[in-house]
Amino acid sequence: MALLVDNCVSNLRTIQPYFTFSSGGTYHVKVVENSPISHFYTFQAQRSDGKVIAVPDASIDILFLCDGENSAVRLCGTPSTAKLVEIQSGKRYFGVRFHPGKIPQFIQQDSRLLVDGEFPLQEILKDGDDLLEKIVTALSFEARIHHFYHHFCQQIAVKRSPVAWQMHQLITVNSGALSIREVGQYTGYSTRYVNKIFTDNFGLSPKSYSLILRFQHVLQQMLQKHKVSLTDLASDQGYADQSHFVREFKKFTALAPRKFMQKASSNNYSAHLIKDYG
């Protein structure tokens, strides 16, 4: 396999399709360039019954519930499998998603504790309540984005080990299709050391991270194309066979691929998604 390494790794953006399904209206995304932040998003959960599935994305989200005196904000680490999270029906949400593997400096927790974890932001930031008030009282999506940037300034920069980051780039740019043995061969480290340094820095093992990236790549291919052969997609992404693909996809989404596509179609996924760049 040819190893691909370039400077565009940060362009990878993961998605949470069930959040979009729950909106019932506009799911607005503001894409960020040249930043640890992948994008901001906002939606009103018109179709939520109180719980929505979050899929593995190897990313950190900061999710604000904008509901007057009942407002709240929580830090969400990546799920390792499909997971139900609280999304209150009819409420407005504002979210910040970081690129996979990018943990900002203001988060001091052990990265391994972030996986499958949710924490009130006030447990992490002493001034979390001040930020929550600014976000909730802002009158527009753009104003909320401005307040978030202004609050953190330089703290959005990520903490990283150069060695771990090289491993991260290799796996990311190859969409999770690189084996740990190949990562070790390219970097000159043993597979044992690759596993240790990667897990210590990103919380996920390199294998788990690779599987999630491959899944996210497949997921976006399925949602972006009007017609897609699931058999060809599974083969192209290196799944052993169709049953392997179905089993892993269902583990990550709680639905088999065809049922997921039916759900995306019935919810008119693309029509609800509005994406701005800048």
pLDDT band, residue 238 (cuts 50/70/90): confident
Residue 154, phi then psi, degrees to nearest 5: -80, -5
Q: Compute the average pLDDT of residues 238-255.
A: 94
Q: Say if CB 3 and CB 178 are below 8 A apart.
A: yes
Contact in structure between 257 and 249 (CB atoms under 8 Å): yes
Separation of alpha carbons 132 and 146, rounded Å: 13
Q: Which residue has the tokens 């943990």?
A: 103
Question: Using an 8 Å Cβ cutoff, are 56 and 8 in contact?
Answer: no
Cα angle, residue 216 at apex, residues 229 and 165 outer, rounded to 5°: 140
User: Could you give the C-alpha distances from 98 to 9, 76, 248, in angstroms and in order?
Assistant: 13, 11, 24
The three-state secondary structure class of 179 is coil
Give the tokens for residue 61: 């989200």
Does an H or E element contain 114, and which? helix 111-114
Predicted confidence (pLDDT) per residue in 151-197, tens digit: 987 678 787 789 999 999 999 888 888 889 999 999 999 999 999 99
Torsion sign across C-alpha atoms 149, 153, 155, 159: positive
Q: Give the pLDDT band (50/70/90) at residue 125.
A: confident
Q: DSSP letters along 51-93, please?
A: EEEEPP-S--EEEEEE-GGG-EEEEEPPPSS-EEEEE-TT-EE
Could you tell me the domains of the chain? 13-156 (2.60.120), 162-271 (1.10.10.60)
Q: Which of 76, 75, 90 is nearest to 23 (CA)?
A: 90
Share of the chain above pLDDT 90, in %: 68
Alpha-carbon torsion (116, 122, 123, 125), positive or negative: positive
What is the rounded CA–CA span in Å between residue 118 and residue 107? 13
pLDDT at 131 > cutoff 50: yes
User: In 229-239, which positions are buried (b, 16+ CB within 10 angstroms) versus exposed (e)?
Assistant: ebeebbeebbb
Predicted model pTM = 0.92
| pLDDT score, position 24 | 81
The closest alpha carbon to 19, from 6, 32, 28, 30, belongs to 28
Section 48-66 average pLDDT: 96
> CB neighbours (10 Å) of residue 56?
27
